[in-house]
Amino acid sequence: MTAQYLIFALPSKGRLKEQCEDWLADCGFRLEVEGGARGYRAEIAGLPGVTVTLLSAADIAAALDAGEVHLGVTGEDLLRERGEQVAERVMLLRALGFGRADLVVAAPKSWIDVETMADVDEVCAHYAARTGRRLRVATKYTAQTRAFFARQGIVDYRIVESGGATEGAPAAGAAELVVDITTTGATLQANGLRVLSDGVILKSQAQLAAGLTAVWTPAHVEAVRRLLGVVEARSRARRLSLLSWPTEQAAAAETATKPFLVRGATRRAHGLLARTEDLFEIAAALSVKGVGPVSVTRPEFAFEPSSPDAEALAARLGLIRG
């Protein structure tokens, strides 16, 4: 791979891959995979200077951590599992709003007196005193489990690393508790488990992240600025509406809409760009002043001069524009 390209890792399969493609398409980008649907290299039409590598979500987290790719989209749960010092090597740029799942502690429903992590601490102590062994916790998320249990002051347990369906470990007699990822909780319930009231370790979702130890150049940062500028403009536009009124009613309209400027609305030629949540209130204020007809359109993009997320990355990398 030539050093001139920014390397962007995207999921190669599954629901997360589909969601990433939908996200890019919604922002006006098209993913063009080399070698057809089974290819592992791609380009993003409309985003020059970027090459895409398609990997599993877990491999993307590892590649970001190792500095093998500049950007990647993967689950926050997988990134956090790289260890508590991962923030020194990987920077979360933007939560993407899809791929949501919770990393949770779940206990058997039959444990009717166990509702909280404090209850788990008591059970662990009693289990150790009675059996001479530590209570077993099945999980694939060993780093986050250890860190969470340490914060709760729980020490009388041991981790059983799960290689298969974690939620089945208690029924199989392989563990007493589980720490696992869940979206609806249905699979846990089907296996006779329930989430503890304070047992949510992480509310995860897909994250656009940057590998800080990759070899970065000013050109790479410019590519990130272009990508994030578009992504942020699309996200910003979702929250805005453009109101327009007849030219001859401009004076009355400006008087009616003046209070909304302090809420972030901005003037446009014979109109106002405002938060959609303020739309009906603004329309009512215009109506009181007899302004009309008022038309409303929704912008597809709302660009700002710079991207806060991109500039934060540039600052971390020491590649701020001169």
Q: How many helices (H) and strands (E) does the chain have?
A: 11, 16
Residue 107, H or E segment: strand 101-108
Cis amide linkage into residue 293, ω under 30° from 0: yes
pTM score, whole prediction = 0.91
Common-topology check for domains 6-99+205-215 and 237-297: no
Inform me whether the pLDDT recorded for 4 exceeds 90: no
Superfamily of domain 6-99+205-215 in CATH is: Periplasmic binding protein-like II (3.40.190.10)
Please give the CATH topology (third level) of the domain spanning 237-297. Alpha-Beta Plaits (3.30.70)
Please state, in angstroms and rounded to a whole number, the distance separating the CA atoms of residues 96 and 28: 16
Spatial CB neighbours of 99, under 8 Å, sequence gap ≥ 6: 15, 16, 19, 75, 204, 205, 206
CATH of 101-203, one of 1.10.1760.20, 3.30.40.230, 3.30.450.20, 3.40.190.10: 3.40.190.10
Inform me whether the pLDDT recorded for 100 exceeds 60: yes
pLDDT tens, residue by residue, 212-240? 999 999 999 999 999 999 999 999 999 99
* CA-CA-CA-CA dihedral for 84, 89, 90, 91, to nearest 10: 100
Please state, in angstroms and rounded to a whole number, the distance separating the CA atoms of residues 182 and 100: 9
In terms of DSSP bridges, do strands 206-211 and 271-275 run parallel, antiparallel, or are they unpaired?
A: unpaired
Please state, in angstroms and rounded to a whole number, the distance separating the CA atoms of residues 53 and 302: 29
pLDDT tens, residue by residue, 182-222? 999 999 999 999 999 999 999 999 999 999 999 999 999 99
pLDDT tens, residue by residue, 8-46? 999 999 999 999 999 999 999 999 988 766 668 999 999
How does DSSP classify residue 69?
-
Inform me whether the pLDDT recorded for 2 exceeds 60: no
pLDDT tens, residue by residue, 103-161? 999 999 999 999 999 999 999 999 999 999 999 999 999 999 999 999 999 999 999 99
Domain boundaries, the chain: 6-99+205-215, 101-203, 237-297
